[in-house]
A and B are shown apart, each in its own frame.
Chain A
């Protein structure tokens, strides 16, 4: 748990070491930029291909396009099928966000506040569930949903995503709730709040940075899902963008320019959410630190 939360939750605060400009330091900086440049080649190639003329694709002798060609994006955005895919992705993203956020914050709060042995057991359960591969869940869920007639329903996909986002949210949010002092709630109780009111009106606002961040990650989990929507849906009208792209790749004569343009569009929400969540993460961690 801590490893994951630290990954996402902690951005480094630069230890400002003042040192003279040495040659070793320049080597480090040069190496950092060189390594980053090399590792960003796939991203560059994704972007460049998305604005390259189809005729230039097969003879990719140049590493950059002669002139940017935006028709791939125009075609993709005008494609009714892709628009529908994007809309479905939005539905799964919001579904995963809501299920994970609501159920996850409830259980995270309970674990953070309760001192019983059960809360420890629940915490263990969440840790275990988080390590299960999606494919191991997909098959039993497919079986379960075929029995209760939920295959080919958006609900099935959202439930399946919930098996990922609920444990994730619970583990991520627990520290945020634990950081809210119990005294705050007691004060609310003195003022006549019930426990639920105390939670919704006092604790939730204080834990908001954490909740927003976790919801953002849950949204991306749903938005970019491939596994569950691929295994639990056969109806083309329900497919999200990941499945749409994957199926397109299986066809003969792929138009890589269009595929890469569509890929960039599919990636935009993930990138935005990441950038936005990172800012919240800093403030969240800072708030937690000053409380202690």
Chain B
């Protein structure tokens, strides 16, 4: 035992100890306590005195009785599916365009990565400004027909559309960049051979390019699902969940429960529910990511 310990001490693994200790203390432990708290009645004062009664599944029952849970889950699904779909298609189109070489391609690629690197609060502020009643979007609409102007941030569906557009803008570079990288791994001779054999561009895309990109595409889609499901700050900045909870996705609902109503028990229960959903998707992601790695 001591011999093993001494061997470990001299080996490379010892350098993993600080990081693992850090993450166990500040990521794994807090998440584990969340699971515990989801079965307890938790108040701010109780946190300090340790006075937290076990309440069984009451927190979960409360959460399920709360009509906002179903509402915010549905919104999260709508948000996630529409964002991922549009980001993926837009990213793919841009990746295909940028996969041809022309002057200025590097510049465009750099510019198009901008949304991915800007601070979220800056993106939020810009979109909030563009979607004001008298903002750029309505100004452009008014130039066509003043009757078509929309109170983007004042009405439920337009507010949802606004945050979806903002998030698509924020996230398309990630899809574009990943797909462009994947496109460039496709051997040019294969495509040339297909072209010489008379395959049209569309045929080449669906019968050669897409099948060859299957692995990176699956990883990208699962990652996009995870990232989009996790969106919170953008909503905080642009709509604050409003108007009247119309953009309160499940992450925002969880935040409200915990940080606005200090209903820490129910908030923990909702966190646990999100954890379960994420566990499924991230298990899929890890399987895809590690099998891809094994192949590489």
Chain B: minimal CB distance from A230 (Å)? 8
- Tell me whether A2 and B296 are in contact (CB under 8 A): yes
* A136 CA / B101 CA spacing, docked (Å): 43
* A92 CA / B108 CA spacing, docked (Å): 31
* A140 CA / B29 CA spacing, docked (Å): 9
Say yes or no for A83: interface residue by CB 8 A criterion: no
Most chain A beta-carbon neighbours within 10 Å: one of B30, B114, B219, B259: B30
Chain B: minimal CB distance from A96 (Å)? 13
Within 8 Å CB of B121, what residues of A?
A: 224, 226, 241-242, 245-246, 263, 266
- Of A15, A58, A143, A260, the residue contacting B37 (CB under 8 A) is A143
- Tell me whether A13 and B119 are in contact (CB under 8 A): no
Within 8 Å CB of A114, what residues of B?
A: 11-13, 16
* Among listed B61-69, B129-137, B155-163, B202-210, interface-contacting one: B129-137
- Of A2, A10, A110, A147, the residue contacting B48 (CB under 8 A) is A147
Within 8 Å CB of B112, what residues of A?
A: 36, 39
Say yes or no for B75: interface residue by CB 8 A criterion: no
Interface residues in B182-227 by Cβ distance below 8 A to A read 182, 184, 188, 216, 219-220, 223, 226
Q: A2-B219, A263-B125 are in contact. Are A226 and B110 (CB under 8 A)?
A: no
Within 8 Å CB of A109, what residues of B?
A: 12, 15
Interface residues in B230-270 by Cβ distance below 8 A to A read 230, 232-233, 236-237, 251, 254-255, 258-259, 264, 267-268
- Tell me whether B120 and A226 are in contact (CB under 8 A): yes
Say yes or no for A55: interface residue by CB 8 A criterion: no
Within 8 Å CB of A16, what residues of B?
A: 101
- Tell me whether B130 and A45 are in contact (CB under 8 A): yes
- Tell me whether A45 and B129 are in contact (CB under 8 A): yes
Say yes or no for B31: interface residue by CB 8 A criterion: yes
- Tell me whether A143 and B33 are in contact (CB under 8 A): yes
Query: Can you name the residue of chain A whose Cβ is closest to the Cβ of B12?
Result: A113
- Tell me whether B15 and A104 are in contact (CB under 8 A): no
Q: A139-B254, A160-B26, A246-B236 are in contact. Are A35 and B105 (CB under 8 A)?
A: no
* A170 CA / B232 CA spacing, docked (Å): 25
Chain A: minimal CB distance from B270 (Å)? 9
- Tell me whether B16 and A10 are in contact (CB under 8 A): no
Within 8 Å CB of B268, what residues of A?
A: 139-140
Q: A119-B16, A135-B255 are in contact. Are A49 and B129 (CB under 8 A)?
A: yes
Interface residues in B23-46 by Cβ distance below 8 A to A read 23, 26-27, 29-31, 33-34, 37, 42, 44
* A131 CA / B114 CA spacing, docked (Å): 23
* A15 CA / B186 CA spacing, docked (Å): 11
Chain B: minimal CB distance from A227 (Å)? 5
Within 8 Å CB of A129, what residues of B?
A: 23, 27
Q: A3-B220, A14-B101, A127-B289 are in contact. Are A259 and B125 (CB under 8 A)?
A: yes
Within 8 Å CB of B267, what residues of A?
A: 139
Chain A: minimal CB distance from B216 (Å)? 7
- Of A40, A144, A166, the residue contacting B19 (CB under 8 A) is A166
Say yes or no for A29: interface residue by CB 8 A criterion: yes
Chain A: minimal CB distance from B20 (Å)? 6
- Tell me whether A227 and B13 are in contact (CB under 8 A): no
Within 8 Å CB of A267, what residues of B?
A: 118-119, 122
- Tell me whether A33 and B220 are in contact (CB under 8 A): no
Q: C-beta contact mask, A26-63 vs B, less than 8 Å → 1, else 0?
A: 00110111011001111101100100000000101100
- Tell me whether A135 and B230 are in contact (CB under 8 A): yes
- Tell me whether B292 and A137 are in contact (CB under 8 A): no
Chain B residues proximal to chain A, CB less than 8 Å: 10-20, 22-23, 26-27, 29-31, 33-34, 37, 42, 44, 47-48, 93-94, 97-102, 104-105, 108-115, 117-130, 134-136, 139, 169, 172, 174, 177-178, 180-182, 184, 188, 216, 219-220, 223, 226, 229-230, 232-233, 236-237, 251, 254-255, 258-259, 264, 267-268, 271, 274-275, 278, 281-282, 285-286, 289-290, 292-293, 296
Chain A residues proximal to chain B, CB less than 8 Å: 1-4, 6-7, 10, 12-17, 25, 28-29, 31-33, 35-36, 39-43, 45-46, 49, 58, 60-61, 99, 102-104, 106-107, 109-114, 116, 118-119, 122, 124-125, 127-129, 131-144, 146-147, 159-160, 162-163, 166-167, 170, 195, 199, 220, 223-224, 226-227, 230-231, 241-242, 245-246, 249, 256, 259-260, 263-264, 266-267, 270-271, 273-275, 278
Closest 6 CB pairs of A and B: A140-B30, A133-B230, A224-B119, A110-B16, A113-B12, A107-B19
